Amino acid sequence: MARYESVLDWVGGTPLVRLTRAAEGLRPRVYVKPEWQNPGGSVKDRAALSMLRRAEADGSLRPGGTVVEVTSGNTGIGFALIAAHLGYRSVIFTSSMIAQEKRSQIAAYGTELRLVDTFVPKYHPDSLRSQAERFVTETPGAWLASQYDNPGNAEAHYTSTGPEIWQDTDGRVTHFVATVGTGGTISGAGRYLKEVSDGRVRVIGADPITSSYVGGDGSQKYIEGAGHFVHPEATVDEWPKALDLEVIDDYVAVDDQRAIDAVRRLARTDGILAGGSSGVAIVAALETATDLTEDDTVVVLLPDSGRTYLSTYFNDRWLVSTGFTGSATDFDAPTVGERAAAARLVERDEPLAAAVRRLAAEDVGDDVVVLVVHRREHRVLAPHPSDVVGWTTPARLRVAATVAGSVQPAGPRLGTGIGLADPAVTGWDPADGEVALVLDGGRVVATLTWAAVNLEPAAAGAAEVAR
């Protein structure tokens, strides 16, 4: 049994576990590396420790200083526990969209959690990054980790994760599969494995289908910590400096539903409770393994535990409400789809007169709800809820068109998302929003009005949205 003199000595040294039932019928050996065995519960503990030690060494972070980072959660947890142990103040900037479990864990270490939910491009003055940079500028002794561009990120995995995999497989690993995200894990571990094997090990990048890394449209996804998002108003798609593109041999794109299904299935078949980004890696690994032989060994890095996502990916109510597959819902009641109308879209930057002409040509009625969305250039999927900035109607647009300008939301209230297969909403108060977004697979496919919900079922009709 290992004994550590501090919590920092606990970071790293995670095991390999062979998949049995999940990989049944596949010829190669498939091992997972459960990174939640780190003290903070994720692979990001390695990077956080490496980046912080590097900052101490070069003088960027001095005793009594403040550790600052922008994160989707796990890196913030890593910094929070390390800062607590070493006596630094820590301030984490993140969004309320991340799992509540992550936010609670960050706060438990005494870290100051600053939630920023403005949906703006990276370099906008109100963005997460801009607010963090402004805080650092105004706070003496503050250090911004900048995990996406920090060389200490990949270095952590070159010096620990990669060597562990090589040693624990006795040098037999042939394929390494990991999600991309900041690029640190796959770049560092992948580079080590390629060097030590003289190029024999193939590195597979697993990413959400929307990620621009795999040629996706850059739109938002529901899998935290993986992929690369590009704000619809951004003028450039800037990739992290921590990502070494030359290390990755192949990419596998995985949609949110398959990733969620994979981790839910893994818990039931192999007793391994993994997070959503692990599902992306598992799907990619099993797809890769179908073309391999008994001589191959696949190692899949699982970034964090499913314990952090019990309120989301493992919660049937959440799955149904976001339009993903769920199983614990009473579908005897009329479903939302029976009362919804297919989503009609106009772009916020679209000239008013052009929007009015287009909707008239499409024969959209004057009182039909029309969603106002961010610029749709390069977007190929239905909108993510974050793309929607409000709603209006053709009648309101026609009145506004007498004034030069572009489309602006006119509807006073927009409700939260409702799953397409959710039972009909009861007790909906107009104060909650006169219009709600109807989601299928997390994407906006229809709208539901308060009036439609409060019609008698017989009068509601059957305008079910085509899936």
Q: Check residue 10 and give its pLDDT.
A: 97
**336-460 and 1-314 share a CATH fold:** no
Q: Check residue 230 and give its pLDDT.
A: 92
Q: Is the predicted pLDDT of residue 466 greater than 70, yes or no?
A: no
- Mean pLDDT score, 233-256: 94
Q: Check residue 264 and give its pLDDT.
A: 97
Compute the distance between CA of residue 464 and CA of residue 340 in angstroms, rounded to an integer. Answer: 7
Compute the distance between CA of residue 284 and CA of residue 250 in angstroms, rounded to an integer. Answer: 10
At 158-213, the pLDDT tens digits run 999 999 999 999 999 999 999 999 999 999 999 999 999 999 999 999 999 999 99
Q: Check residue 30 and give its pLDDT.
A: 98
Which pLDDT band holds residue 40 (cuts at 50, 70, 90)?
A: very high
Q: Is the predicted pLDDT of residue 107 greater than 50, yes or no?
A: yes
Q: DSSP class of residue 8?
A: G
CB distance 323 to 382 below 8 Å: no
Using H for helix, E for strand and C for coil, what is the string for 91-148?
EEEECCCCCHHHHHHHHHCCCEEEECCCCCCCCCCCCHHHHHHHHHHHCCCEEECCCC
Compute the distance between CA of residue 67 and CA of residue 65 in angstroms, rounded to an integer. Answer: 7
Q: Where are the alpha helices (DSSP H) in 290-400?
A: 316-321, 352-361, 394-400
Query: Greater confidence, 329 or 55?
Result: 55
Q: Which of 44, 102, 194, 221 is catalytic?
A: 44
CATH of domain 336-460: 3.10.580.10
Q: Please report, for the chain, the start and end positions of each structural domain, with discontinuous segments joined by +.
A: 1-314, 336-460
Six token digits for residue 363: 């024969």
Check the CA dihedral 101-106-112-114 and report its sign.
negative
At 391-413, the pLDDT tens digits run 999 999 988 876 668 898 888 78
Pick the closest to residue 224 from 160, 152, 274 (CA basis): 274
- Mean pLDDT score, 270-277: 97
Which CATH number does the domain 1-314 belong to among 3.40.50.720, 3.30.70.890, 3.40.50.1100, 1.20.1630.10? 3.40.50.1100
44: annotated active-site residue: yes
CB distance 107 to 133 below 8 Å: no
Q: Which of 159-168, 248-257, 415-424, 439-448 has the lowest mean pLDDT?
A: 415-424
Crossing angle for the helix pair 100-108 and 74-86, nearest 10 degrees?
10
Q: Check residue 76 and give its pLDDT.
A: 95
Q: Is the predicted pLDDT of residue 331 greater than 60, yes or no?
A: no
What length is written for the chain? Answer: 467
Q: Is the predicted pLDDT of residue 56 greater than 90, yes or no?
A: yes
